[in-house]
Amino acid sequence: MSAATSLAGRRVAILASDGVDRRELTQPREALEAQGAHVELIAPRRGEIHTVEHLQETGTAAVDRALADADASRYDALVLPGGVANPDHLRLNNDAVGLIGELVARGKVVAAICHAPWLLIEAGVVRGRTLTSWPSLRTDLVNAGAEWVDRETCVDGTILTSRRPADLPAFSAKLIEMLVAAGARPAA
């Protein structure tokens, strides 16, 4: 299988809102698309969301599907980029939290970087798992029943976590590896 088609037929959702870290949105998306995956940006509303780098606004990203129209059965994986404001907004959105919980329950790959593990906490899927994150989330994850580690990437079952934008190359590579290992998409 060539590199450009190793994820052909795979559907990946990226769930984000205003305040998403631009790098954490675009770098995994570009890596997945380079491998042939179909990637959709899902957000609470149609149109565009505002991206940031640190706390500086960097532009916008076009939304492919409104969260209200997202169906967990359509996706092989879910990417949760960080930025401080993005996961903080989304963890108050019942549809976002529900989508995450459903994908984890279905055994799909769910990948969260930086501050995005807040969403995993809100979805109630961290207890008994080993995860990493931006260091300031350590106490939140431990209080929710997870073991926190300081690693570039951490895989626990079908959940992948990573610490920061500097870890994006390893995060994207591990995400692709997990999707390839998950095998061919079953017929709907």
Q: Which of 110, 141, 158 is nearest to 149 (CA)?
A: 141
Instruction: Give catalytic residue positions.
Output: 115
CA pair distance 90, 97, nearest whole angstrom? 7
Let me know the angle formed at the C-alpha of 67 by 64 and 68, rounded to the nearest 5 degrees.
120
Q: Which of 121, 176, 110 is nearest to 143 (CA)?
A: 121
CA pair distance 111, 104, nearest whole angstrom? 10
